[in-house]
């Protein structure tokens, strides 16, 4: 929204701490889901309350705190703009295995549950298409169909989800040899773009509350698995 002086209106200043924002998003998302299942006045009230909590958590700004002059942000957080959403992250690590060996293991997508904590099953549909099932927090599961968009043996894999998808996403992994060729650096990137604006962002928060940490953990577990052969599996809370 533009302000009366002709410039773009500044986003509300963040006055919530990280934990309070997370709790607001979780609570707002839960109320939004419940509102969809209720009719009449109760559903409307739940929907309004859920929307208010979602706005509070996603922007980091509490109107009540603002009116009272309260600031619990610690001075380090930045207010999110309404059109911001989804997740884009990347991580990299060096692994004591040849690039081709790492590529071959990753390219067999049925291996994903062995090092990606959220993935519970992968079904290969054809040479370029697979169906993925993942577990989120609070007992939720979600699915998507993924197709390869680029595949360079021993070097690079890129994929994207196919509509309809619970959580649209795309990603890539690059294997870069170094040293005498028995080691490689792995570059892993993921983008998640939940549908539905604020509600979609809230659902993403419920399913994957810390996507960057999960991405980094997946890559670390991949390294441990490839170097020691010990698969890791963590139960989501």
Quick: pLDDT tens for 51-65: 877 777 777 777 755
Task: Please say if the pLDDT value at position 23 is more than 90.
Answer: no
Classify 224 as helix, strand or coil: helix
What pLDDT does residue 83 have?
42
Flag whether the pTM goes above 0.75: no
Q: Does domain 87-228 have CATH number 3.30.530.20?
A: yes
What pLDDT does residue 216 have?
94
What pLDDT does residue 131 have?
97
How much of the chain, in percent, has pLDDT values that exceed 90? 42
Task: Please say if the pLDDT value at position 84 is more than 70.
Answer: no
What pLDDT does residue 139 have?
73
What pLDDT does residue 26 have?
78
Mean pLDDT of 117-126: 95
Mean pLDDT of the chain: 79
Angle between helices 18-37 and 197-207 (to 10 degrees): 110
| Domain boundaries for CATH 3.30.530.20 within the chain | 87-228
Task: Please say if the pLDDT value at position 232 is more than 70.
Answer: no
Cβ atoms of 86 and 194 within 8 Å: the answer is: yes
CA torsion angle 149 206 165 87 (round to 10): -30
């Amino acid at each position: 929204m533009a302000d009366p002086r002709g410039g773009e209106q500044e986003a509300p200043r963040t006055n919530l701490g990280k934990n309070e924002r997370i709790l607001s998003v979780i609570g707002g998302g839960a109320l939004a889901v419940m509102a969809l299942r209720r009719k009449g006045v109760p559903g409307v009230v739940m929907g309004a309350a859920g929307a208010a909590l979602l706005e509070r958590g996603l922007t980091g700004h509490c109107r009540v705190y603002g009116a009272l002059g309260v600031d619990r942000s610690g001075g380090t957080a930045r207010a999110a703009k309404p059109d911001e959403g989804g997740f884009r992250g990347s991580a990299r690590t060096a692994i004591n295995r040849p690039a081709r060996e790492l590529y071959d293991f990753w390219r067999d997508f049925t291996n994903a549950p062995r090092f990606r904590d959220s993935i519970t099953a992968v079904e290969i549909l054809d040479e370029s298409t697979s169906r993925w099932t993942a577990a989120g927090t609070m007992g939720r599961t979600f699915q998507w169909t993924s197709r390869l968009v680029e595949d360079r043996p021993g070097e690079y894999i890129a994929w994207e989800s196919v509509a309809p998808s619970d959580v649209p996403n795309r990603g890539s992994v690059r294997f870069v040899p170094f040293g005498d060729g028995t080691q490689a650096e792995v570059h892993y990137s993921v983008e998640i773009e939940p549908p539905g604006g604020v509600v979609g962002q809230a659902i993403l928060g419920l399913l994957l509350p810390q996507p960057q940490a999960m991405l980094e953990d997946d890559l670390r577990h991949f390294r441990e698995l490839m170097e020691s052969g010990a698969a890791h599996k963590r139960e989501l809370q």
